[in-house]
Amino acid sequence: MAHLLIIGGSDAGISAALRAREVDPAMEVTVVVADRFPNYSICGIPFFISGEVPDWHDLAHRTASDIQAKGIRLLLEHTAQAIDPAAKQVTVLDRTGATRELPYDRLIVATGAEPARPQIAGLDLPGVYLLRPMESAFRLHRHVRKREPRSALVIGGGYIGLEMVDAFAHLGMSVTVVEYMPSLMPTVDPSLGRVIGAEVERHGVEVVTGVGIEQIERVGDLLAVRGTGGFQARANLVLVAVGVRPVSGLAAAAGAQRGIRGALRVNQQMETGVAGVYAAGDCIETWHRLLERYVYLPLGTTAHKQGRVAGENAAGGHSTFAGSLGTQVVRVFDLAVARTGLLETEAAQAGFDPLAIELETWDHKAYYPGAHRIHLRVTGDRWTGRLLGAQMVGHVSTQVAKRIDVFATALFHGMAVAALSDLDLSYTPPLSSPWDPVQEAAQMWISQRQGRHGT
């Protein structure tokens, strides 16, 4: 009977385990989990901190009992120390501090990512948090509930940073967010970043852009934060959210190669190049479907898919990861912000000849109550007409997530921008218009392209 060993019990690891058991119900599957929280939603942590999700148990995609009911063995609070590919075994440290050797026939490394630690003096001071694992979320949650801080400063205006800004404001704190780039949410174009910034300020948050934080010091009961350009601020609490880095050292020490930002190199079958060893999730490079090359793009949705491919192949299947387009969405106060594919600058760097248009329109017929303006930015290749990317910002009621999925589906299948106008999309006055905003944007792009070509 074949034995599959998986290191890591988050999105990729559990997805791999479940798929392996589906493909080969006789396969023995063991998952080594460093903490006590298998298959917990890291993406849900901001909502636990804010109190919108009051019970942390609800963040579990599946409970440990659910997973074990599928015939999967969980080794909680076990930390992998070394991989020996020749002997096909992994050395683990258990909760008592004892080491043991676990044999395997196939191994999947799903060690994920950890918070990036910027070069800022004072990161280890009490009251400074780098949010990622569940234990760090619990520490922050206890701090917020017991000490009731009146003010918070968030370093980093990306997805997690802004979700935490929202969470702290939801708790009644005075909040400042500091972003190194010229506008918030650097993963969208600055014009949309300014829309997001205005929304954040509308909720009483101080927005500081173009500043790099250099030092954090304790001054009495407060944390004093200093940055470039003479920036100074004080707060009861500081959260650092400047991205993540892959946890890839364990597999690299066993012979797996590392690439972009130290992430593990794999092929589209999730093979590392070390015999019998696969990898998936935030610890690996990701095949970008549009760029047709590898990038580092850690996303929960991608990790689930990669884990499924790794689990199927480790169980004897023949699956291929189709690639990612970087499709993502986030709620920031009353806005939903989404993107898929490439920004105009990214498209140019990749060798395309991009043309981008920006449109502001109603999300549904304006005569029906509750209509909101929605901002769209669509990028296509000027010469081929191929869709390259889309971004969208709108009120949370404007179905931004589903509309960005239309663009993502079109990108996945290599559609032209013009083809979007022909799609048979649904319409009713409370939800859309005869020409959906997706199609309005496509039609504007077509007109701009024709105008620039003189046709």
Can you tell me whether residue 382 is helix, strand or coil?
coil
Q: What is the CATH number of domain 335-453?
A: 3.30.390.30
Question: Positive or negative CA dihedral for 374, 377, 383, 387?
Answer: negative
Which tens digit of pLDDT belongs to each residue from 135-193? 888 999 999 999 999 999 999 999 999 999 999 999 999 999 999 999 999 999 999 99
Terminal-residue alpha carbon distance, the chain? 67
Name the pairing type of β-strands 232-235 and 72-76: unpaired
Average pLDDT for 101-109: 97
Q: What are phi and psi of 26, to 5 degrees?
A: -85, -10
| Domains 3-40+59-113+245-314 and 128-240 fall in the same CATH topology | yes
Number of Cβ within 10 Å of residue 134's Cβ equals 19
How confident is the model over 402-453, as pLDDT tens digits?
A: 999 999 999 999 999 999 999 999 999 999 999 999 999 999 999 999 986 4
What single-letter amino acid sits at 5? L
Q: How far apart are CA 334 and CA 449, in angstroms?
A: 33
Residue 51, both tokens: 């109190």
Best CATH choice for the domain 3-40+59-113+245-314 from the list 3.30.230.10, 3.40.640.10, 3.50.50.60, 3.30.930.10: 3.50.50.60
Average pLDDT over every residue of 77-96? 96
pLDDT reported for residue 451: 84
Gap between the Cα atoms of 222 and 212, Å rounded: 20
Q: What residue ranges do the domains of the chain occupy?
A: 3-40+59-113+245-314, 128-240, 335-453
Q: Which residues contact 49 (CB under 8 A, 6 or more apart)?
A: 137, 140, 141, 144, 164, 167, 168, 171
Q: What is the distance between the alpha carbons of residues 453 and 243, in angstroms, rounded to a whole number? A: 41
Helix (H, G, I), strand (E, B) or coil at 390: strand
Judge residue 434's burial from the number of C-beta atoms within 10 Å of its C-beta, 0-12 exposed, 13-18 middle, 19 or more buried.
exposed
Tokens of 280: 């998936």
What's the mean per-residue pLDDT of the chain?
Answer: 95
pTM (two decimals): 0.93
Confirm or reject CATH 3.50.50.60 for domain 128-240, answering yes or no: yes
pLDDT at residue 74 tops 70: yes
What's the average model confidence in pLDDT over 232-241?
97
What amino acid is encoded at 231 in this protein? F
